[in-house]
């Protein structure tokens, strides 16, 4: 969106147009046409000064942590810029500058946890991020050694199973919503409840899968497929929403051109509509996988955990990466060290997978998106 | 309804079975989703039934289902409200920064960065909360206890480990921030450009323009975004299960050692070691959680849907 006018920093520049007329002495009875503004260099210099004072404060009075530093800098700079601006430019501009400071601070404040989480996971996770971790399971391991091989396999199998179930259902539903429903009652109800479904707590999805499989396997059963059903409940609405958005972007002219050539409806949808939006759909599916691959709670109640490798999702407990990390933290042996190291290494593995999936999704949407505009 | 194109008078060379099958599959998938949602309620109710009808003495805690679930529901709502109070102003500020303050060229990238906060798995937020946020919160809690101790929320003995309701609320706030920011960002971007330009043309500063044009237009969007965030916070499980040190009963003190648990975290903590009626009890509490979040989410979606009907933005 071309929006440069909003980003123009100072309105007073507009008044400079009138400057030539000010050569005659005070045309408005002594009221100056040019509003006084702070010098351009003043705000950055004040920011530097505020930061310096905050550092000194951090070294002497309070502790030197990033949150305190950011907060102190923001408060000092905000106070300084508000008073100087109020004196020089007037109260309205001072409020405007103060809000800019507040809003920017809020944004930076949101970045802190992200940076802190990543730093912490890398710092504690790299200790056991070794070959053993990726090639050994936990069978018979007490104390040091052992690894997350079984957990990684379990996560991959259950995620693959979930994707196989969710993607066709999700895409077909999106196709129904965009191509077939055309304002029908079912379409409206479905749109509403898909949105509502995105808000189902993950633990409730897990309980649903448990309750469903009591029918087939009796109470107390644990299996990978139960977990996959639980995760599907979480994944399907995400796939529907993202696919629907992509299908709506396909220009109607393409559909009409296809129909005009006598192509049937389902071939138009599969060969033209879906083909055009495939990059967007892949992006959406990748993001959906990234969302469910770190889910812990539903797997905790449906799949449980085990120390040895189990690659059959239809029978017995399986280890999965998030649950592995949780149990290494929650039920460690003595000494705790090796267990916590494994928990963090699993967390690091998980976050690398999630970030990689996010990156892949963005790259796919950037490089394979249909060209728009000629 | 899917074969409305086959109107009388339209001549087909051959019946298009492919069309019928495909339309049927698409409709079927949609119906399946509705069935699943109904099934979630239905199966939970079925599995919760034994606990609903059991005699109070048999239910975990020995004093009946309501007595077991009520403190958990209280803890769930308290932590979610703390998260909401923290996250609402933050998300409005961040969304304003991205839509109206940041340089246009990097605004989209900044949006992705905020979205990354949502990508971090909740188990990692839990570990991070225990090892980073909780220790850092202890001096803050001590300060609150000393100076604001007259409020019922800040008791006289702050927890030394920092595994408190307050810390859970802060971590939940971080976790729901991306959802709320995304909704706010979207509605702020939909503000009619003419409103903004009219305001600026009358000499408003940027903040005055936002107050006159952007915020009134986006108000219902902000409300529904906050409700979506509330829904997420209510259902969040692992971060709470890891961080909170729980004691039975209702506790208003949010910085003390005794904290009310939450429904979701309680299920995650108790379920793996439960069997028989205990499982049914946990499912019953899950049913309560499901209905609370369902109501919140439906209200949020209803506000959004109503807004898009009247705003004229679409």
pLDDT tens figures, A295-348: 999 999 998 888 888 888 888 888 899 999 999 898 888 888 888 999 999 999
Q: Do A202 and B101 touch (CB under 8 A)?
A: no
Taking residue B75's Cβ as centre, other Cβ atoms within 10 Å add up to 25
Domain check: are A114 and A233 in the same one? Answer: no
Cα atoms in the Cβ-side hemisphere of radius 13 Å centred on B85: 10
Q: Which of residues 300-329 of A touch B (CB under 8 A)?
A: 300-301, 304, 322, 325-326, 329
Question: Which tokens go with A4?
Answer: 């440069």
pLDDT digits (tens, 9 = 90+) for B109-156: 888 888 888 889 999 999 999 999 998 888 888 888 888 888 888 878
Give yes or no: residues A92 and A173 share one domain: no
Residue B16 touches partner A, C-beta closer than 8 Å: yes
Q: Average the pLDDT over A139-166 and give the result.
A: 88
Residue A161 lies in a domain: yes
B235 touches chain A (CB under 8 A): yes
CA end-to-end distance (rounded Å), chain B: 27
Same domain, A269 and A197: yes
Q: ipTM, 2 decimals? A: 0.86
Picking from A82, A106, A126, the residue at the C-terminal end of a domain is A126
Give the closest residue to A154 by CA, choosing from A356, A350, A354, A360: A350
CB B271 within 8 A of CB B279: yes
Mean residue pLDDT of chain A comes to 84
Contact at CB, A201 and B132, closer than 8 angstroms = no
Q: Inform me whether the C-beta atom of residue B68 falls under 8 Å from chain A C-beta atoms.
A: no
A100/B47 CB distance under 8 A: no
Please tell me which of the candidates A110, A269, A351 has its beta carbon nearest to residue B114. A110
In this prediction, residue A204 carries a pLDDT of 93
CA distance B198 to B204: 9
Interface test with A, best of B30, B40, B80, B118 (most A CBs within 10 A): B30
Give domain status of residue A243, yes or no.
Answer: yes
DSSP state of B155: -
One of 1.10.3720.10, 3.30.450.40, 3.20.20.240, 3.10.20.30 is the CATH number of B74-310, namely 1.10.3720.10
Which of B122, B127, B200 faces A329 most closely, judged by CB atoms?
Answer: B127
Residues of chain A with pLDDT > 70: what percent?
89
Q: Which residue of A has its CA nearest to B289?
A: A204
Question: A191 and A109 share a domain?
Answer: no
Cβ-defined contact of A207 to B34 (cutoff 8 Å): no
What's the number of domains chain A is made of? 2
Res. A22 pLDDT band, cuts 50 70 90? very low
pLDDT at A217: 84
DSSP state of B1: -
Nearby residues of A348 by Cβ (< 8 Å), 6 or more positions away = A121, A122, A124, A125, A126, A129
Say whether both A96 and A223 belong to one domain: no
Interface check B160 vs A, CB under 8 A: no
- Torsions phi, psi of B246, nearest 5? -95, 145
* Residue owning tokens 């049913």: B287
Rounded mean pLDDT of A97-104?
Answer: 91
pLDDT tier for residue A289 given thresholds of 50, 70 and 90: very high
On chain A, the residues whose CB falls within 8 A of the CB of B197 are 5
Q: What is the pLDDT of residue A55?
A: 85
Q: Looking at the structure, tell me whether residues A69 and A112 fall in a common domain.
A: yes
Is residue A269 domain-shared with residue A177, that is, in the same domain?
Answer: yes
Residues A265 and A322 in one domain: yes
A291 and B CB contact within 8 Å: yes
pLDDT, mean of residues A200-223: 89
CA distance B124 to chain A (A): 6
Of A79, A107, A126, the last residue of a domain is A126
Residues of A in contact with B172 (CB under 8 A): none
* Nearest-angstrom CA–CA distance, B24 and B17: 10
What residues in chain B have per-residue pLDDT under 70?
Answer: 1-15, 307-314
Same-domain check for residues A303 and A205:
yes
- Is the Cβ of B249 closer than 8 Å to some Cβ of chain A? no
CA distance B53 to chain A (A): 17
The predicted pLDDT at position A2 comes to 43
Structural domain range at position A344: 135-367
> DSSP secondary-structure letter at A26?
-
List CB contacts (< 8 A) between A159 and chain B: none
Verify that A293 and A165 share a domain, yes or no: yes
A111 and A162 part of one domain: no
Are residues A175 and B26, on separate chains, in Cβ contact within 8 Å?
yes
Q: Do B23 and A196 touch (CB under 8 A)?
A: no
Instruction: Quote the pLDDT of residue B309.
Output: 59
Query: CA of A193: which chain B residue's CA is closest?
Result: B34
Do A187 and A290 fall into the same domain?
yes
Residue at A19 is within a domain: no
**Chains A & B: contacts with CB separation below 8 Å:** 290
Confidence class of residue A117 from pLDDT cuts 50, 70 and 90? very high
Specify if A22 maps to a domain: no
Last residue of a domain, one of A92, A126, A160: A126
d(CA A193, CA A176): 14
């Amino acid at each position: 969106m071309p929006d440069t006018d909003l980003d123009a920093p100072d309105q007073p520049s507009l008044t400079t147009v009138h400057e030539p007329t000010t050569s005659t002495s005070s045309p408005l009875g002594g009221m100056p046409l040019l509003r006084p503004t702070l010098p351009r260099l003043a705000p950055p210099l004040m920011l530097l000064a505020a930061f310096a004072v905050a550092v000194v404060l951090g070294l002497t009075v309070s502790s030197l942590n990033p949150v305190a530093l950011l907060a102190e800098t923001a408060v000092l700079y905000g106070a300084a810029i508000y008073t100087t601006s109020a004196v020089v430019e007037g109260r309205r501009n001072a409020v405007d500058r103060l809000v800019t400071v507040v809003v920017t601070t809020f944004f930076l404040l949101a970045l802190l946890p992200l940076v802190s989480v990543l730093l912490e996971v890398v710092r504690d996770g790299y200790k056991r991020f070794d070959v053993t971790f990726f090639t050994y399971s936990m069978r018979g391991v007490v104390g040091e050694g052992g690894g997350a091989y079984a957990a990684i396999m379990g996560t991959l199998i259950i995620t693959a199973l979930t994707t196989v179930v969710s993607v066709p259902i999700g895409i077909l539903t999106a196709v129904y919503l965009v191509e077939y429903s055309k304002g029908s009652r079912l379409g409206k109800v479905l749109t509403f409840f898909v949105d509502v479904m995105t808000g189902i707590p993950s633990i409730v999805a897990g309980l649903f899968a448990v309750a469903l499989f009591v029918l087939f396997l009796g109470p107390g059963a644990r299996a990978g497929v139960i977990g996959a059903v639980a995760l599907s409940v979480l994944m399907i609405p995400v796939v529907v929403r993202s696919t629907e958005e992509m299908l709506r972007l396909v220009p109607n002219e393409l559909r009409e051109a296809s129909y005009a050539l006598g192509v049937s409806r389902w071939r138009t949808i599969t060969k033209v509509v879906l083909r055009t939006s495939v990059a967007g759909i892949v992006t959406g599916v990748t993001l959906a996988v990234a969302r469910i691959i770190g889910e812990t709670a539903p797997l905790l109640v449906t799949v449980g955990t085990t120390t040895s490798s189990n690659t059959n999702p239809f029978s017995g407990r399986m280890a999965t990466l998030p649950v592995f990390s949780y149990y290494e933290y929650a039920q460690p042996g003595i000494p705790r060290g090796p267990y916590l190291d494994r928990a963090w290494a699993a967390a690091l593995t998980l976050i690398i997978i999630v970030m990689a999936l996010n990156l892949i999704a963005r790259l796919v949407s950037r490089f394979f998106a249909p060209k728009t505009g000629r | 309804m899917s074969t409305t194109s086959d109107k009388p008078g339209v001549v087909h060379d051959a019946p298009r079975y492919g069309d019928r099958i495909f339309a049927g599959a698409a409709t079927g998938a949609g119906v399946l989703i509705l069935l699943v949602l109904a099934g979630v309620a239905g199966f939970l109710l079925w599995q919760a039934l034994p606990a609903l009808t059991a005699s109070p003495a048999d239910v975990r805690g020995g004093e009946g289902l309501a007595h077991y679930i009520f403190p958990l529901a209280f803890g769930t709502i308290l932590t979610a409200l703390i998260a909401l109070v923290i996250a609402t102003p933050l998300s409005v500020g961040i969304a304003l920064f991205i839509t109206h303050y940041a340089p246009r060229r990097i605004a989209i990238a900044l949006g992705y960065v905020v979205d990354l906060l949502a990508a971090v798995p909740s188990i990692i937020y839990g570990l991070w909360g225990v090892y980073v946020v909780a220790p850092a919160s202890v001096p803050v809690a001590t300060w609150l206890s000393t100076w604001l101790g007259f409020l019922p929320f800040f008791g006289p003995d702050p927890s030394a480990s920092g595994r408190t309701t307050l810390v859970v609320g802060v971590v939940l706030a971080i976790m729901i921030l991306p959802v709320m920011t995304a909704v706010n960002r979207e509605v702020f971007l939909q503000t009619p450009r003419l409103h903004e330009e009219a305001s600026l043309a009358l000499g408003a500063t940027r903040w005055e323009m936002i107050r006159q044009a952007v915020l009134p237009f986006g108000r219902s969007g902000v409300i529904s975004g906050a409700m979506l965030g509330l829904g997420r916070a209510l259902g969040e499980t692992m971060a709470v299960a890891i961080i909170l040190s729980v004691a039975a009963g209702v506790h208003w003190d949010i910085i003390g050692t005794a904290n009310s648990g939450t429904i979701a975290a309680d299920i995650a903590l108790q379920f793996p070691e439960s069997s028989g009626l205990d499982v049914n009890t946990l499912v019953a509490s899950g049913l309560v959680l499901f209905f609370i979040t369902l109501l919140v989410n439906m209200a949020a979606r209803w506000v959004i849907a109503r807004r898009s009907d009247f705003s004229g933005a679409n």
